[in-house]
Amino acid sequence: MRVPLLLVCLTLACATSAPRPTAPAVDANGFTDGAKSAAAGIRGEVIASHIRFLADDLLAGRDPGTHGYDVAARYVASQLQALGARPAGEGGTYFQKVPFVRATPVSASLEFSGGSGGPLSFAQGEEMFLLTDVDRGTTDVSGEVVFAGYALSVPEYEYDDFAQVDVRDKVVLAFAGAPRSERPDFFPNLASAVHGQPERVARELMRRGARAVIFVWPPAKEALTPFKMLAGYFGFESMRLEDEPPLLPGGMMSVKAFERVLKKAGRADTVAGLVEASAQGKPRGFSLGLRARVRRESKIRRITSDNVIGLLPGDPASPTAKEMVMYGAHLDHMGIGKPVDGDSIYNGASDDAAGVASILEIARAFTRLGQPPRRGILLLFVTAEERGLLGSEWFARHPTVPLQDVVADIDVDGAYPINPLKDVVALGTDESSLGADVARAAAALGLQISPDPEPEEAYFVRSDNFNFVKKGIPAAQTFNGVAGLTPEQLAAYREFWRKRYHRPQDNFEPDRDWGPLAQLTRFNFLLGVSIAQAPSRPTWNEGSWFRRFPEPKRAGEPD
The DSSP-derived string for 3-51 is: --HHHHHHHHHHHHHSPPP-PPPB-TTS-BHHHHHHHHT--HHHHHHHH
How much is the pTM? 0.92
pLDDT for residue 416: 87
Residues 155 and 175 both lie in one domain = yes
153: in domain: yes
Residue 15 banded pLDDT, cuts 50, 70, 90: very low
Section 2-16 average pLDDT: 42
pLDDT for residue 483: 86
What does DSSP assign to residue 540?
B
Closest CA to 300 of 141, 61, 132: 132
Of the listed ranges 10-14, 414-418, 494-498, the least confidently predicted one is: 10-14
* Amino acid present at 447: L
Residue 76 to residues 53, 61, 361, 410, 508, Cα–Cα distance (Å): 11, 15, 11, 18, 18
pLDDT for residue 453: 85
Q: Residue 165 pLDDT > 50, yes or no?
A: yes
Of the listed ranges 22-31, 193-202, 237-246, the least confidently predicted one is: 22-31
Phi, psi of 510 (to 5 degrees): -65, -25
18: in domain: no
Residues 283 and 322 both lie in one domain = no
Residues forming a β-bridge with 526 = none
- Of 300, 322, 352, which closes a domain? 300
Residues 45 and 188 both lie in one domain = no
Which spans in 196-254 are helix H? 198-207, 219-224, 227-233
Q: Any residues with CB less than 8 A from the CB of 526 and at least 6 apart, and which?
A: 31, 35, 39, 440, 441, 444, 445
As a whole number of angstroms, the distance between CA 52 and CA 354 comes to 9
Closest CA to 379 of 479, 309, 475, 284: 309
Residue 181 CB: number of other CB atoms within 10 A? 16
pLDDT for residue 286: 98
Residue 234 banded pLDDT, cuts 50, 70, 90: confident
- Report the CATH number at residue 296: 3.50.30.30
Q: Any residues with CB less than 8 A from the CB of 281 and at least 6 apart, and which?
A: 157, 158, 159, 179, 186
As a whole number of angstroms, the distance between CA 444 and CA 36 comes to 8
Residues 283 and 141 both lie in one domain = yes
For residues 76 and 331, the answer to whether their CB atoms sit within 8 Å is yes
Closest CA to 99 of 205, 229, 224, 242: 242
Q: Are strands 153-154 and 324-330 parallel, antiparallel or unpaired?
A: unpaired
For residues 368 and 519, the answer to whether their CB atoms sit within 8 Å is no
Residues 287 and 335 both lie in one domain = no
pLDDT for residue 557: 53
Residue 517 zone, left/alpha/beta (φ > 0; ψ -120 to 50; rest):
alpha
Number of residues that this document lists for the chain: 559
For residues 132 and 296, the answer to whether their CB atoms sit within 8 Å is yes
* Angle at the Cα of 404 from the Cα atoms of 552 and 371, rounded to 5 degrees: 155
- Of 300, 321, 354, which closes a domain? 300
Q: Which helix (H) or strand (E) holds 478?
A: strand 475-480
Phi, psi of 341 (to 5 degrees): 55, 40
Q: Which helix (H) or strand (E) holds 325?
A: strand 324-330
Of the listed ranges 11-15, 117-121, 259-263, the least confidently predicted one is: 11-15
Residues 260 and 328 both lie in one domain = no
Instruction: Say which residue, 17 or 517, is predicted with more confidence.
Output: 517
Residue 213 CB: number of other CB atoms within 10 A? 28
* Amino acid present at 556: G
Residues 181 and 74 both lie in one domain = no
How many structural domains does the chain have?
2
What does DSSP assign to residue 419?
S
As a whole number of angstroms, the distance between CA 380 and CA 368 comes to 20
481-527 confidence digits (pLDDT tens): 988 888 999 898 888 888 899 999 999 999 999 999 999 999 999 99
Residues 73 and 112 both lie in one domain = no
pLDDT for residue 554: 53
Section 206-223 average pLDDT: 96
16: in domain: no
Residues 75 and 157 both lie in one domain = no
- Report the CATH number at residue 68: 3.40.630.10
Radius of gyration of the chain (CA): 26
110: in domain: yes
290-338 confidence digits (pLDDT tens): 999 999 999 999 999 999 999 999 999 999 999 999 999 999 999 999 9
Residues 375 and 452 both lie in one domain = yes
Section 82-105 average pLDDT: 97
Q: Residue 532 pLDDT > 80, yes or no?
A: yes
pLDDT for residue 3: 44
164: in domain: yes
Section 133-147 average pLDDT: 96
- Of 247, 269, 300, which closes a domain? 300
* Angle at the Cα of 382 from the Cα atoms of 400 and 551, rounded to 5 degrees: 65
Give the mean pLDDT of the chain. Answer: 92
5: in domain: no
Residues 200 and 340 both lie in one domain = no
Section 135-139 average pLDDT: 93
Residue 21 banded pLDDT, cuts 50, 70, 90: low
For residues 86 and 376, the answer to whether their CB atoms sit within 8 Å is no
As a whole number of angstroms, the distance between CA 201 and CA 154 comes to 11
Q: At what angle do helices 33-40 and 354-367 cross, to 10 degrees?
A: 140
**510-516: Cβ within 8 A, 24+ apart:** 510/48, 510/52, 512/48, 512/418, 513/44, 513/418, 514/44, 514/45, 514/47, 514/48, 515/44, 515/420, 515/421, 516/417, 516/418, 516/419, 516/420, 516/421, 516/480
Q: Coil, helix or strand for 498? A: helix
Residue 125 banded pLDDT, cuts 50, 70, 90: confident
Domain that holds residue 230: 103-300
357: in domain: yes
Q: Residue 389 pLDDT > 90, yes or no?
A: yes
pLDDT for residue 20: 45
3-state helix/strand/coil string of 367-393: HCCCCCCCCEEEEEEECCCCCCCHHHH
For residues 517 and 350, the answer to whether their CB atoms sit within 8 Å is no
204: in domain: yes
Residue 444 to residues 137, 157, 432, 439, Cα–Cα distance (Å): 55, 41, 20, 9
DSSP string, 421-446: --EEEEETGGGBTHHHHHHHHHHHHT
Residue 555 banded pLDDT, cuts 50, 70, 90: low
Residues 366 and 514 both lie in one domain = yes
422-472 confidence digits (pLDDT tens): 999 999 999 999 999 999 999 999 999 999 988 888 889 999 999 999 999
